[in-house]
Structure 1
Amino acid sequence: MRFNTEQMSPTLVVGFRNGEDIRVRSITHDEVIIESPSIIEKEAFGLDIQMFDYADFQYKKFRLCCKTSHIEDMRFYKIIIASFQIEGQDGAEFHEFLSRINRIMNVAKQASADGLNDLDFLDAKQPKYPFEEDAVFSEQYQEHLQGLFSFTLSEEEKQQFRSLSEKTDLAISISGFFQYIDFFQMDFSAFKYKMLTKLNLQEHELFTQAVRTIYIGNEFCHNLFPAKPLLEKILAKAHGLGLKIVISYPYLLENSVESVERIIQFIDNWCIEQDTEVEFSVNDWGMLGIINEQTTRLKPILGRLLNKRKKDSRVGFMWGFKERSIAFEENNLNTEHLRQFLLKHRIERYEFESHKLKNRIPEGNHSLHFPFYQINTSVYCPLYAECTSTNRSDQRLAVKCQQYCNEFYFSYPKHLDIFGFGNSIIGVETSLLQDSSCLDDYIASGIDRIVLSVY
């Protein structure tokens, strides 16, 4: 059986030799015809073949030991016909090679029988993105949220959430000017109630427990971190309430290093005066150096901007997502060498988010933010550009930010459940609040703190 790559996309079978791309024109169980931009001097040569398989949506590498039988000079490239053997031909490797060729040929035959090319044939078997729904937008932000959070739990689920609430540390994140003011001025129980009512969660059993931790600051925008006088008042109140404190700060700008160092030194001195420690969510490797070198009472934790993942709400429509979805559950935090690096620099806790895909939690005790999750963040703010120049593409660093994000947001198609807040795109995911088994799995994996954020 001969597989001719001109029948289908040439990316199904690709070749490499000494780092050079080689086009595979056709291949059988013992002969290959290739195009090479340069002459292959030796009669015997090695060729690496990567073959795609629809069964698992990934490439498999095979090493071919080739022997040239014919060379044809086509002026700009050479056509080389060679016999070959596969390393490990007597074992499973050779059978896997034949199986992949057969599966590719079967797809080619089916596509031809249906009168389709390979891409259209494969597209017909994939989930279809609902383009028509991209024209539907919510009229009001709060109206959209009410729709998302208007769900009813069974009595069994309520009981499960009550039980799970006792196994985790409940935290609330305050990340904007009005939330800072409300926290400072209001009775804390009234403040908690106000935050929950914005999401229609005031009766949810998960929040029957007391809040033990407060996150202060914004992990995505440097302009939303509280000014020193307000920060001092917030720290004093949080400490007086007996709350554990976590400071959140985003990326580190070159022109703000000195001012950030002064803020960090102020927080460290405040901790010394109060004989306490606070955690500091690090979202920039430069910030980690400052924390470890210039402070004694700040404990670094890994922020969400450094816990990089694909969190687009459209990811389920990607080709092969169903077959390869498990690969999206992990990132570099699931590697031992990175965890050892972080441990060396005093980072033990990692900040995760509840989003459309499950997170595979590494060993340790970590935090989970919900129900909002970050999809994309830019140092330059599209909302600032839109409000100051009516052109969101005219982006520049917002030196004197008017915090337009307190009043405006970018609306996206309703079915995506995402919003543009300032310099970030934020998504909403409610499964953690509707399915107790989801939270139970996370707790079993090492999540011991859940962090409520409200936009």
Structure 2
Amino acid sequence: MINNENCVLPSGLVTCFIGDRELRILDIASDRISLRLNEDIGGIASILVAFYVFSENRYEEIVINDFKLLNKENTEFYKIYRFEINDKYYSNNVKKILNNYSKYVTLKTFGSESEFSQEMVNYPSQEDYKFYSFFDDMKREWMKDIYYEDYDDTVLSSVDYAVSLHNDNMYKKYLALGIDKFLDYYIDENYIGNHPLFKNKISRIYIGNEFCHNLFPDIDMLLKIMDKAVYEGIEVTLSFTYLRDCLINKTKADIDEIYSWCVKNNKNIELVINDWGMLNLIEYKDDYITPVLGVLLNKRKKDPRIKYKNGYKNHKDLMADNSLNSETYSQFLNKLLIKRYEYESCGYKMNIAKGKHSIHIPYYVTNTSQFCPLYAMCTNMDRGNQMLVINCPKYCSDYAFAYPKHLKMAGIYNSLFSFDDTLLKEFYLLKDYVDNGIDRIVFNFM
């Protein structure tokens, strides 16, 4: 008879091996275990059971020699072996894993998310109740005391500097002021006047929004901005976001207009793609338009809460690579004429792929939605009641979602962004990126 500790556990918490075969555990108790097999096994010398240790983020392996096969059961698709086990280490680990899993389920079911995280990974849940009252206060606080202790501008002599224009206010300000006065406004607006990086000349502007289709300028305004950039000797990169079916014709028409402008002005531009369908729209236009891989296609784990994950500190070097570090993938992109990739500074050190690439600072996106949560909140008072927004009233020009202070996050238009000041404080980390392929810094203040 199986005792009342009998339980089914997720395979990630406890697993079992006989020889080199990993077997599915059907149920487990402090003196029993039932295993599923697809064929009979003869001559079992030992059983290895591996238990996950919550507090240490590792597995405890126990080799069991003192066991007894109670019975075998044949079902239509598999066989079940039931063993009686007489091993105190096994028994203690079963009790421990059942207790930890019970605590996990109880917290997940009845506790708040922050209580659950505090108990499981020491997340500072008490900090979740502290918010900024205003977006401007948040920006000012984040930029306070950010500076380089050591700075050598000769190290960055090969770096180009760009600024991202990604909303209606920025488009209008640039048209009204020109690049030099716009940069003065930009620096004052974001409290970054004392930082040495912002003493450098801007040689390129990014126009458009990689996350929201409603924040791309209309074609008339876009061409005016591009005309002004040419007049001022500024290079141009256009940023496009996802490509929905209902937007294909409009986007195609815009790209045809952009290409005609390039031909007329004999001007090459870059175009950031965040949807593979964009490649079809710019086909046969590569004499003037160069595709660049956007941050939505440069996928990696990015979240300010990731540092609380079990095992993050000991294994964060494993996060440094992503698909772009694969030679096979880079060769695929090269065949598509994509040689520049857009990176975001995102709280941990990345291994930059071979080539010359761009890095955006200080914001990075953690989540984005084609169905805007801010619009849903402003119209329905329910951020979950989302829909595709075509004719947008631009609530994001006045409102943003607030998040706890310690996370340095904000919900801006249809996306969630986090602030990473690493490259604004650690000059030699920035130097390391430059030494490994970053030749452009893109300022993307909100």
TM-score bucket of the superposed structures, by smaller chain: 0.7 to 0.9
> Is residue 360 of structure 2 the alignment partner of residue 369 of structure 1?
yes
Cα distance change, pair 337–48 in 1 and its aligned pair in 2 (3 A): farther
2:123 partner amino acid: Y
SS in 2 for 1:369: strand
* Matched residue, 1:451: 442
**Counterpart Cα distance in 1 of 2:6 and 2:298:** 40
Give the equivalent residue in structure 2 for 1:273: 264
| Cα displacement (A) at 1:244 | 1.3
**2 CA distance for matches of 1:48 and 1:176?**
62
Q: Quick check: 2:17–2:48 contact (8 Å CA) kept in 1?
A: yes
Query: Structure 2: which 5+ runs fail to align?
Result: 105-116
1:203 is aligned to 2:204: no
Mapped partners of 1:315, 1:433: distance in 2: 21
Give the superposition deviation at 1:43.
Answer: 4.2
Q: Residue type of the partner of 1:11?
A: G
Matched, 1:330 2:321: yes
Aligned pairs for 1:77-92 within 5 A:
78-79=80-81
Kept in 2, the 8 Å contact 1:134–1:414? The answer is: yes
CA contact (8 A) 1:151 1:434 kept: no
For residues 5-20 of structure 1, the aligned pairs below 5 Å read 11-15=12-16
Q: Which residue of 1 aligns with 2:222?
A: 231
Structure 1 residues 80 and 426: CA distance shift in structure 2, 3 A: same
1:289 aligns with 2:280: yes
CA contact (8 A) 2:156 2:431 kept: no
Instruction: For residue 153 of structure 1, report the CA deviation from its aligned partner.
Output: 3.5
- 188 and 14 in structure 1: CA distance in 2 versus 1, 3 angstrom threshold: same
1:436 is aligned with what amino acid? F
SS of the aligned residue for 1:368 comes to: strand
Q: Tell me the secondary structure at the aligned position of residue 12 of structure 2.
A: helix
**Could you give the per-residue CA deviations for residues 200-234 of structure 1, whole angstroms, max 9, x where no partner exists?**
21231112221111100000000000001101100
- In 1, Cα distance between equivalents of 2:89 and 2:281: 58
Letter in 2 for 1:375: T
Shift in Å, 1:165: 3.9
Q: Which residue of 2 aligns with 1:29?
A: none
**Superposition map of 1:48-59 within 5 A:** 51=50, 57=57
Please tell me whether the aligned partners of residues 220 and 424 of structure 1 are also in contact (alpha carbons under 8 angstroms): yes
Unaligned runs of 5+ in 1: 27-32, 83-103
* Partner of residue 404, structure 1: 395
How do 1:339-378 and structure 2 match up within 5 A? Answer: 339-378=330-369
Does 2:442 match 1:441?
Answer: no
Q: In the alignment, is the contact (CA less than 8 A) between 1:171 and 1:449 conserved in 2? A: yes
Aligned to 2:385: 394
**1:103-139, CA deviations, whole angstroms, 9 ceiling, x for partnerless residues?**
x969967996xx9748879x99975101111011101
Once the two structures are superposed, what CA deviation does each residue of 1:304-354 show, in whole Å capped at 9, x if it has no partner? 000111111100001111122112222111111111110010000000001
2:404 aligned to which of 413, 421, 434: 413
Rounded Cα–Cα distance in structure 2 between residues aligned with 1:286 and 1:341 = 16
Given that residues 13 and 24 in structure 1 are in contact (C-alpha distance below 8 angstroms), is that contact kept between their aligned partners in structure 2?
Answer: no
Give the CA deviation at 1:73.
Answer: 3.9
What is the aligned partner in structure 2 of residue 423 from structure 1?
Answer: 414
Alignment coverage as a number of residue pairs: 418
Q: TM-score, normalised by structure 2?
A: 0.82
Counterpart of 1:149 in structure 2 is: 143
Structure 1 residues 322 and 118: CA distance shift in structure 2, 3 A: farther
Taking the aligned partners of 1:105 and 1:43, their CA distance within structure 2 comes to 25
Asked if 1 retains the 8 angstrom alpha-carbon contact of 2:34 and 2:83, the reply is: no
Give the letter for the 1:22 counterpart: R
Classify the secondary structure of the residue corresponding to 1:147: helix
- Which residue of structure 2 aligns with residue 98 of structure 1? none
- Is the Cα–Cα contact under 8 Å of residues 15 and 49 in structure 2 kept in the other structure? yes
Shift of 1:181: 0.5
Q: Give the whole-Å Cα distance in 1 for the aligned partners of 2:389 and 2:9.
A: 50
CA distance in 1, matches of 2:302, 2:41: 49
Q: Give the 3 Å change call, closer, same or farther, for CA 50–258 of structure 1 in structure 2.
A: farther
Structure 2 counterpart of 1:100: none
Match of 1:301 among 292, 309, 322: 292
Letter in 2 for 1:212: S
Q: Normalised by the size of structure 1, how large is the TM-score? A: 0.80
RMSD: 4.0
Alignment check: 8 A CA contact 1:16 1:49 kept: yes
Q: Tell me: CA distance 1:153–1:79, structure 2 relative to 1, closer, same or farther (3 Å).
A: same
Work out whether residues 118 and 125 of structure 2, in 8 Å CA contact, stay in contact via their aligned partners in 1.
no
Q: Distance in 1 between matches of 2:71 and 2:372?
A: 57
Higher mean alpha-carbon deviation, 124-133 vs 358-367, is at 124-133
User: Contact 2:243 / 2:275 at 8 angstroms: preserved in 1?
Assistant: yes
Percent identity over the alignment?
31
